[in-house]
Amino acid sequence: MVPHHYSNREMRDCYSTEQQRANGRADTLVAAIVSTLRESAQDASNGPVVNDALRDAASKLMKSQESWRIYRDEHCHAVGSSWTTGSGAGTAYEECMFNLAQQRIEALRHDFDTYIPHASATRTK
């Protein structure tokens, strides 16, 4: 049986759809983590030092997501441009956007596991 070979356009369209989904998941995950950090910072039993640290973490995570988006966009534009005049530039760009979104999601899950709602119910260590 001969495997189906996808055209460059089909691959680009697929990566485009999937990278939009993955980047949306990354943004949603950041919002959920920030919300949990802020909610945790409302607990007076933590004490002021811990609550200040939680608010600071929420603020820095939001800023890091903004910076990450800028990095992602510039990096993937560079990847696309490296194809110069090749027809694969668009596909390379979309694939890069997808791959970086997947990496971001994994990093967020790893680094903020405690602050992901229902993380303990859905993940095992």
| Distance in Å from the first CA to the final CA of the chain | 40
Nearest CA to 71 among 100, 94, 103, 32? 100
pLDDT at 122: 40
pLDDT value at residue 125: 36
pLDDT of residue 5: 80
Please report the pLDDT score of residue 2 as a whole number. 41
The average pLDDT across 16-33 equals 96
Matching residue, tokens 């194809």: 83
| Nearest residue to 20 (alpha-carbon basis) of 75, 74, 94 | 94
**Can you tell me the mean pLDDT for 41-67?**
97
